[in-house]
Amino acid sequence: MIDLERYVEVYSNATDELLDSYPITLPDSEAIPYINPVNDDEYAIYVYVLNESQVISLVGEEIVKKYQGHDIEYQAACYASYESE
């Protein structure tokens, strides 16, 4: 069985370094509309750049406050983990 895990990742625009990663704990039915995927990606598996409003909806405003004034980019990422039965 495949289990999808979603994260908001924070990247430095200056170095492209991953600064932090925050799990999205909302169910897919709530998270996917906030991510706003393209039509051929109904499960939001691709990487998407997020704005501050989307980040707040997905993981809360604390992250936006933490990185306010920094040259960063937020991305929604989806990773598959395989569970053995």
Answer whether 53's CB lies under 8 Å from 36's CB: no
The pLDDT score that the predictor gives to residue 43 is 85
Distance in angstroms (rounded) separating the CA atoms of residues 25 and 52 = 17
The pLDDT score that the predictor gives to residue 3 is 83
Distance in angstroms (rounded) separating the CA atoms of residues 20 and 37 = 22
Distance in angstroms (rounded) separating the CA atoms of residues 80 and 42 = 15
Q: What is the CATH number of the domain that holds 76?
A: 3.10.50
Answer whether 9's CB lies under 8 Å from 18's CB: yes
pLDDT exceeds cutoff 90 at 9: yes
Mean pLDDT for 3-15 is 95
- Domains of the chain: total: 1
Model confidence, pTM: 0.89
Print the domain residue range for 6: 2-82
pLDDT digits (tens, 9 = 90+) for 26-74: 999 999 999 999 999 988 999 999 999 999 999 999 999 999 999 999 9
